[in-house]
Amino acid sequence: MRNVLERVLNLLAYLLTVNRAVSAEEIRHTVAGYDRDNDQAFQRMFSRDKDLLRRLGIPLETTTSGALEIEYGYKIDPDAYRLPETDLSDQERAALWFAAQVVRIGGQPTGADAILKLGGSQLETGLEPFAANLGSEVDVLAELYTACAEHRMVTFRYGGSERLVAPHGLGHRRGHWYLVGSTERGIRVYRVDRLSALEQGDPDGFTRDPDIDVRRELDTQPWEAGSEEPVTASIRFSPDIAWWAERRLGREPLTRTELPDGSLEVSIEITNRAAFIGWVLGFTDQAEVVGPPELRRAVVHHITGAA
């Protein structure tokens, strides 16, 4: 390991100071630690070292030559290498480190390397109480996040078809991560765990629409997430769960009536019938769609079709 580390530090120091693209052969004969006699041994070492640098997030660029796109030269832009100034205090770093330890995104707690890069902290590894699990795969999120930050167009498969999206932001709501983006057909919201075959384009591939507010786009309940003709639905909840249903509504209903037996009747506007029916059925026989009649019939039809 010592040899590898020495060689990589020498390579990195060279690439950060040489100020131009250099070929593998040049590296081989200039940087200490590379095998100058055995071609295969050199290739193996060099490819390992490139992997190691990239794994740390070090922007090792490859320039190619000619139509065959043979890897030709390597360079690291010192400005792209450097951490931007963050001006974090020790207390702020410690607060971030604590947050990284109590939050899980995609399984394991993360953040130790990030905190080191930001200037270190008191890295006690004592067990912090687990506080939040945000699910999802951090790699996919990170790719989308980069695309949002660098204004790269993205393509992916979603619901069986190919999408081309100008990504504007990511948000976590009700247990899922969502991507908010603009498309030819308007603003769209996608669930991150349901998209696949993600590819991103070059930086500055689109101009951000300043009117898109990620937070506002995501603040929708399932029954509002659709573009159907709006309909006002009335629902009656049993006395036992009325308190809970009201919490779950998450907003002021259009009308709200407490009935003498303790039941609660509310009306809300819905633009996604299927999602609304799914939500109401979650209350089992403790809730009932009172109207309008066609929506009530749709619920009954759905129950009858079960299993």
Partner 1 sequence: MSDRTASRLTRILTMLPWVIEHPGATVDEVCERFGYSRKELIRDLDLVFVCGLPGYGPGDLMVAYVEEDQVVVDTADYFARAPRLTAAEGLALLASGMTVMATGQGSDVLASAVDKLAAALVPDGYEILTVDLSAEHDLADRLRTAAAEGRVVEVVYTTLSRGDTAKRRIEPWTVFTSLGNWYVSAYCRESQGERIFRLDRIQRVDETDERFEPPASPPEPEVRYTPSEEDVTAVIRLQPTAFWVSDYYPVEIVSEEPDSRTVRFSAYDASVAAQLLVRLGAAASLLEGDQVRVAVDDLRSRMLERYSS
What residues between 257 and 296 interact with partner 1 by CB under 8 A?
Answer: 278, 281-286, 288, 296
Considering only 23, 35, 135, 182, the residue that binds partner 1 (CB under 8 A) is: 135
The residues in 145-174 that bind partner 1, with binding defined as CB under 8 A, are 145-146, 148-149, 168-174
Number of residues that bind partner 1 (CB under 8 A): 119
Yes or no: say if 142 and 179 are a contact pair by the CB < 8 Å rule. no
> Within 10 A of 127 (CB to CB), how many other CB atoms are there?
7
Considering only 143, 235, 272, 273, the residue that binds partner 1 (CB under 8 A) is: 143
Which of 100/270 has CB closer to partner 1?
A: 100
d(CA 189, CA 67): 40
Shortest Å, Cβ 82 to partner 1: 4
Q: For the residues of 233-261, what is the DSSP string, one character each?
A: EEEEE-GGGHHHHHHHH-S--SEEEE-TT
Which of 114/254 has CB closer to partner 1?
A: 114
Shortest Å, Cβ 277 to partner 1: 8
Which of 236/268 has CB closer to partner 1?
A: 236
The residues in 100-119 that bind partner 1, with binding defined as CB under 8 A, are 100, 102-103, 105, 110-119
Which of 119/230 has CB closer to partner 1?
A: 119
State the amino acid at position 90 in one-letter form: D
**Residue 198, both tokens:** 């993600």
Considering only 30, 43, 63, 183, the residue that binds partner 1 (CB under 8 A) is: 30
Parallel/antiparallel/unpaired status of strands 132-133 and 103-104: parallel
99 is a site residue for partner 1 (CB under 8 A): yes
